[in-house]
Structure 1
Amino acid sequence: MELLLNYIRKYSSSLVSENDFEIIKSYFTFKKLRKKQYFLQEGQVCKHFAFILKGAMRQYYIDEKGTEHFVQLGIENWWMGDRESWAMLTPSRYTIDAWEDTEILTISHADVLKVSQQFPALMEMMRKMDEQNTIATQKRITSTISHTSQRRYTDFTLEYPDFIKRFPQHVIASYIGITKDTLSRVRNKRS
């Protein structure tokens, strides 16, 4: 729970007292996921968001050829969930599972609304998270449509150095929009 408190304090200028945090954490549920265990499956409505305490998760979809395409990766201090399904209450096109044995705190959509009305710090945190998510998405789109494979990989390693240690090449290649063979060539050139 200390990780969550630090996260809230990092992204909010409003003070969060220990008493406030006791109330805030009562809205969260602790869960453990085994490696490869689903948090959300394609076709389900995303009713909860997860804050990762320990471990790693991935969000992906599988195309008609059976190929996995990774759209989000997360490790400690990251949030995971399908934003579209969460906001619109529509079935998700994505699957989210644990890449490693993972410990998470989950919160429901209804509870996010309740707790954020009570505590301005959470509303500010969520606004900043949404801003950062939008910025990261814009950067990723720009990179995908205009940068070389080499540049995409270099940018990824600079932006997310911890991911290189936690996810295999084929996952990183899919995330940055290249094949694993191309990523192998890019990595060999760098060596």
Structure 2
Amino acid sequence: MLKTIVNALAAGIAAVFSGMAAVTKWGFQMARGIVRLPFDLLGGGQPIPAPYEPEVKQADILDEFLEARKRSAAVHTLDREGIDTVIQYCNTHREDRPRFVLPKTLDRDVLVALRTMDDAALRALATSGVSKIRKFIDGREHDIYGVPSLAKVKPQSLPKAPAGMTEHERIMWKVKARLEKAHEYEPFAIRKR
């Protein structure tokens, strides 16, 4: 019984303090409103903020994202050495290859080799690593099975003109030697294993 009386007394004291807190808070708000009333009537109150409207729309964000994706994709296709072009050519369908435009920056031997290679050799070239493709383009030993090795031949100097020629004969001899040298071009040899 004593326990129930103590509990009821504690609950009553808690209710009184809770009510005092609510009355104190209400009284403080009332006093604050009374003090602010003249200032609000004279225009000293804070203006009501305008509703937030974002400056960026969803379509703008999407356009910006797509533009950034194009820029980043363009960075990956800087094809200074022609590696990406060679890979693209090798992966192009057989019927579309004649219409594929190979850049003039590639060496003539590389262009001839690409145009004359069969599908298996092109597939082997496309699936090899970037370093091996770079070696193929540079005409170095690349160790790709079935792909021809384009060994670069160092240009040989022309033999000296025979003695006892006039200036005119010497110039004509040099021109003729250069023309004959140009026709001595040997096509690349496919290395067999």
TM range (shorter): under 0.3
Higher relative CO (Cα under 8 Å, sequence separation at least 6) belongs to 1
TM-score of the two chains, using structure 2 as the length reference: 0.20
TM-score of the two chains, using structure 1 as the length reference: 0.20
Greater Rg over alpha carbons, structure:
2
